Chain A
Amino acid sequence: MPKVKPHRMSPSLDMTPMVDLAFLLVTFFMLTTKFAPEEAVVVDTPSSTSEIRLPESHVITIAVDKDKRVFFGLDDDEIKGKLLTQVGAKYGVSFTAEQAKNFRGVAASFGTPIEKLPALLNLDGEQRKLVKQEGIPSDSLNNQLIEWVVAAQSLSRQQFGKPSYVAIKGDGNADVPTVKKVIKLMQEKNINRFNLITDLETKPTASN
């Protein structure tokens, strides 16, 4: 009896649907991607059971790291330029157009006193990462932090019709006095709503 020859299949298969899907995903990710802003400082946030998400935009982030340094960050590109000139004018520091352009990238998170900001902005991206920033002064003698916050709030109100959210991103090992100082400073300026950034933790059931 002759052997039944197995039907010889072509080893190739139609990849068109897969490619379609792959490109669909590529476009999706390309369009929705928002690159994580460069963080000037590593902050290890504590976890909580809260499930509220940080708003997408109009957020002022105040980071407090474990060395008591305070960092300021703003996410709205539209008002960064104005913010820089406004706060700069207050302290008599002026910025060139090139520096103002660099500020767009830096403003996501920085912790440098305004006097040293032009020097930081002159550096290029790689060098800037190596600079150890000392934190924004926020004591009663030289309180630049609140100037940044107040200026950003008023600009946001002009531009978007509502004040920014204030998010406090504290390191788990940050000390309470620094965080409380930041909160108190803002309370004095009538900012009473804060968002404490935390990691998500599964919610335990509150059993009796």
Chain B
Amino acid sequence: MAEIQQSADSGKGGKKRAKKMSTKIDMTPMVDLAFLLLTFFMLTTTFSKPTVMEINMPVKPKDETEQSPIKASNALTLLLGENNKLYYYNGLLAADAPKPELKLSSYDANGIRKVLLQNKSNPNLVVLIKPDDKSNYKNMVDILDEMNITDLKKYALVDISKSDQDLIKTSGL
């Protein structure tokens, strides 16, 4: 395939010449092998490193008094419920204050992202993310991702409290 061997000996002339060999060699097997190796390495290579989301958790406080409370007017709480449900309310849940209104939202682009963007006008906004024990890890990543998309810097991953769970139950959403 690479080169057809041409007869080097013309047959004319009485002198017996040394047979001139063609300098071309058949490279087909070599090329076959080269491409085999090429495909092998191309397919086994790990193409790209997986992407990561960086998350920095707060350093464990030495004593509780160092923590500063959040003002209710600056708080937005997201509750990640079971079956991929997402609830949110403005403000904080306190025993002496009236119960905030719980609203249902969703993880898609028109759901929580709009809510976050609306609330973003408040520069002191702190988003409290409370994943329920029955929510799955994907929900947590999704919501952290929403924080990246909406460019909200102040958010905290908080354990869900009993009263939050009760709020979801009583709301019937």
Interface residues of A (CB under 8 A from B): 10-12, 15, 18-19, 22-23, 25-26, 29-30, 32-36, 45-46, 48-54, 56, 64, 167, 170-177, 179-180, 183, 187-188, 190, 192-201, 203-204, 206, 208
Do the beta carbons of B50 and A46 come within 8 Å of each other?
A: no
CA distance A20 to B162 in the complex (A): 69
Knowing that A176-B139, A187-B57, A198-B53 are A-B contacts, what are 12 other residue pairs whose CB atoms are under 8 Å apart, sorted by A's residue number? Answer: A19-B27, A30-B41, A32-B45, A33-B44, A46-B142, A50-B54, A172-B136, A173-B136, A175-B136, A176-B80, A197-B50, A199-B51
Q: Which B residues between 40 and 89 are near A, CB-CB below 8 angstroms?
A: 41-42, 44-46, 48-60, 80
What residues on B are CB-neighbors of A195 within 8 Å? 52-55
> Distance (Å) between the CB of B160 and the closest chain A CB?
9
Q: Does B135 contact A (CB under 8 A)?
A: yes
> Distance (Å) between the CB of A185 and the closest chain B CB?
11
> Distance (Å) between the CB of A59 and the closest chain B CB?
9
Do the beta carbons of B34 and A23 come within 8 Å of each other?
A: yes
Q: Which of A22, A32, A49, A50 contacts B52 (CB 8 A)?
A: A50
Chain B, interface residues (CB within 8 Å), range: 35 or more
Interface Cβ pair total, 8 Å cutoff? 162
What residues on A are CB-neighbors of B150 within 8 Å? 206
CA distance A10 to B30 in the complex (A): 21
**A35-B44, A204-B149 known; A176+B55 contact, CB < 8 A:** no
Do the beta carbons of A26 and B51 come within 8 Å of each other?
A: no
Do the beta carbons of A192 and B45 come within 8 Å of each other?
A: no
Do the beta carbons of A192 and B58 come within 8 Å of each other?
A: yes
What residues on B are CB-neighbors of A183 within 8 Å? 57
CA distance A22 to B41 in the complex (A): 12
CA distance A172 to B151 in the complex (A): 23
Q: Which of B38, B45, B52 contacts A54 (CB 8 A)?
A: B52
Q: Does B140 contact A (CB under 8 A)?
A: yes
Q: Which of A171, A188, A203 contacts B60 (CB 8 A)?
A: A188
Do the beta carbons of B1 and A12 come within 8 Å of each other?
A: yes
